[in-house]
Amino acid sequence: MPGRRDKHRIYGIILLIIIAGCAKISAPSGGPRDREPPFVVKSDPVNGARNFKGDEVSITFNEYVVLEKINEKFMVSPPMKKMPKFLKRGKSVIVQYEEALRDSTTYTFNFQDAIRDLNEGNVLNNYQFVFSTGPIIDSLSVTGNVYNALSLDAPEETLVLLYSKLYDSAVVKRIPDYISRVDKNGYFRIDNVKAGKYRLYALKDADNSKNFNLPDEQFAFLKDTIEVSSQNDYIPVIEDTVKVKTPTVKTADTIILKGKYKLILFQPPKTAHYLTSSSRSQPYKLTYSLSLPPDSAGFGFSIPETSPGSYYIERSRNNDSIQVWITDSSLYAKTQIKTLVRYPFTDSTKKVIQKQDTIVMRFLVPQAIRARPKKRPLSVTSNLFSGLLRPGQQISFNSQTPLSPPDTSKIRLYEVSGATRIKIPFTFIPDTVNSCKMVMATHIIQGKNYLFTEDYGAFRNIYGDISDSTGYKITTRNDDMFGKLTVNIKNYSGNRIIQLLTKDEKLVQQAKMDKDGKVDFLYLERGIYRLRVIYDLNGDGKWNTGDFNKGIQPEPASFYSQEINVKENWYNKEEWDIGEQNIKTLKSTAPKSQNRQ
């Protein structure tokens, strides 16, 4: 029989075992992942407070939060000249500001999607905190959409400005009465607006000034003032507890939310004359560009203390850029070349004067170039490389350096039929603008086969570099290897430009029309295409941007409502009503009509 002491010892061991079992740490049983955004449990003052005079706002959430890119996303309307400070104390966010608040004004703090919970990063979308320094909370709203001119896509990082001052210079000299930012689909909404007349603008603010004070900032404006009233602009403020579900965007091109006003964002035309760039990309190549064509003022260039034949100048079609090719090897072997450039310049009084700059062009030249340059193989590219030409396509040759007249005795073009070769005559025509390009003029018959050969040294550049020998088999494709598109344009009176674009909106072909009717796009490669119309209001045959100083909007554009799938040997027919301008709601659907040719 165990003694009392042994019993106590046994009981102690059993008790330790029980305690150890209870204290054993086990993995949590888990549970559903937290997918709920944080929500506000209290604030000081309350959201919607009236007669508020404080210098900070405290907002407390149900959990710990982080502020992601708060200085980029946070907006105050009416705007403050200085960004408020943001502090975190426990589960609270403190917004402090030094600027005196305006009297009898409703303020909106818009956090957008900057507030996220600490653990899972769940986003509190579109959170707004509103208070008034007077007895009334203004409850009117202004909504709309901003589109990039010509592409009609939604712009990024764009502000929307609302001014109660109705004169045009207000947007240049003053900050707005209300401000907002477009969402990723170009939609905007300005809440808590006071009734009255306003001017509405959009701006890509390059210097964070919140006004249109730089000539190259992208800008949009409405021609007429807008009237904000309770009859048509009342939209209740969203309460904190309401969960807003944003509609899913079905395609990247479709803007879902439609506002009342439409703003077209454009790049203003350049008005000042100045030299935009100068570069020396190669020892022998100098490039200079102007902001605008010089007109009669001229665009001059010289290299002091050099002979006239040591270089030559190549000008762009409108004379706003020049390329200088240096032919003297002792000159282009220099690390530094002093050049003189004369061009029109707009001074501080907006007067256009003739200015002359001394520009030192630098290039670190390898030592080998300082001696007599060794002949290098000349790379000449051609559209013959693929072996397939489109009907009517010119044969062209291109180099990175200016070409001398080719040695035609080393170049041959044959028509090939079985074992028979017939020599085809040709000539070479230099491009009138680009000295690095040559066009081969000859007669190629569709569907026949050809052989092009060139011997070593057939092509030569002005520096003596020569091409290697090569050869290409060529054929011009038949009509049945292409698609064709006919578009019947209707419901518009005036000049228009109909453009056929690739899926990523690069220009393929275009046609100018002055009345409704049919337009044909021939010899199309198979693929997905888009259609755009430019409403050519001034009839100059090209798209023109807007000008706020002259009250001119950018020329409108619209897109056909669906993509067009072009196949080989298929004839697509489309009907297009272009009566409505600045419309883009593309759908990736099959074309309405496809027929074999």
My answer on whether 156 and 260 are in the same domain is: yes
Strands 261-265 and 140-148: parallel
My answer on whether 257 and 299 are in the same domain is: no
Q: Residue 66: which CATH number?
A: 2.60.40.1220
Q: Which of 132, 167, 195 is the last residue of a domain?
A: 132
Q: Which of 461, 477, 493 is the last residue of a domain?
A: 477
Three-state SS annotation for 141-163: EEEEEEEECCCCCCCCCCEEEEE
Is the CA virtual torsion 128, 131, 132, 133 positive or negative? negative
Q: Which of 243, 265, 287 is the last residue of a domain?
A: 265
My answer on whether 241 and 150 are in the same domain is: yes
Sequential DSSP letters for 43-62: EES-TTBSS---SEEEEEES
My answer on whether 467 and 486 are in the same domain is: no
Residues pairing with 221 in the sheet: 201
My answer on whether 573 and 515 are in the same domain is: yes
Q: In what order do the strands lie in the sheet with 115-117?
A: 65-67, 115-117, 123-124
CB hemisphere CA count around 308 (13 angstroms) = 0
Average pLDDT of the chain, as a whole number: 87
pLDDT in tens, 111-125: 988 999 888 889 998
**At residue 491, does pLDDT exceed 80?**
yes
Rounded to an integer, the average pLDDT of 520-541 is 96
- Quote the pLDDT of residue 591: 47
Contact 380, 459 (CB under 8 A): yes
32 is a domain residue: no
Please, where are the H alpha helices in 55-124? 70-73
Q: Residue 582: which CATH number?
A: 2.60.40
Rounded to an integer, the average pLDDT of 557-583 is 95
What domain count does the chain have?
A: 5
- Higher-confidence residue of 31 and 66: namely 66
Q: What is the DSSP letter of 554?
A: P
Rounded to an integer, the average pLDDT of 199-215 is 92
Question: Which of 75-89, 238-252, 503-517 is most confident?
Answer: 503-517
- Quote the pLDDT of residue 131: 93
φ/ψ (deg, to 5) at 19: -65, -45
Rounded to an integer, the average pLDDT of 384-394 is 87
**At residue 4, does pLDDT exceed 70?**
no
Structural domain of residue 346, as residue ranges?
275-370
- Quote the pLDDT of residue 576: 97
24 is a domain residue: no
**Longest Cα pair distance anywhere in the chain, in angstroms?**
127
My answer on whether 419 and 530 are in the same domain is: no
My answer on whether 520 and 582 are in the same domain is: yes
Q: What percent of the chain has a predicted confidence (pLDDT) above 90? A: 69
Rounded Cα distance between 445 and 426, Å, is: 14
My answer on whether 161 and 257 are in the same domain is: yes
Residues comprising the chain, all counted:
597
CB-based burial label for 100 (10 Å; 0-12, 13-18, 19+): exposed
Rounded to an integer, the average pLDDT of 346-371 is 82
pLDDT in tens, 449-459: 999 999 999 99
454 is a domain residue: yes
**At residue 25, does pLDDT exceed 50?**
no
Question: Residue 492 is encoded by which pair of tokens?
Answer: 């518009």
Rounded to an integer, the average pLDDT of 160-184 is 93
101 is a domain residue: yes
CA-wise closest residue to 345 among 291, 286, 302: 291
532 is a domain residue: yes
Question: Residue 35 is encoded by which pair of tokens?
Answer: 């997918």
Query: Side chain identity at 432, as an amino acid letter?
Result: T
497 is a domain residue: yes
My answer on whether 168 and 249 are in the same domain is: yes
My answer on whether 366 and 381 are in the same domain is: no
- Quote the pLDDT of residue 351: 92
Predicted confidence band at 388 (pLDDT cuts at 50, 70, 90)? Answer: confident
Element (DSSP H or E) covering residue 221: strand 219-221
pLDDT in tens, 403-459: 999 999 999 999 999 889 999 999 999 998 899 999 999 998 888 899 999 999 999
Element (DSSP H or E) covering residue 305: none
My answer on whether 307 and 384 are in the same domain is: no
- Quote the pLDDT of residue 477: 87
556 is a domain residue: yes
**At residue 243, does pLDDT exceed 50?**
no
323 is a domain residue: yes
My answer on whether 246 and 260 are in the same domain is: yes
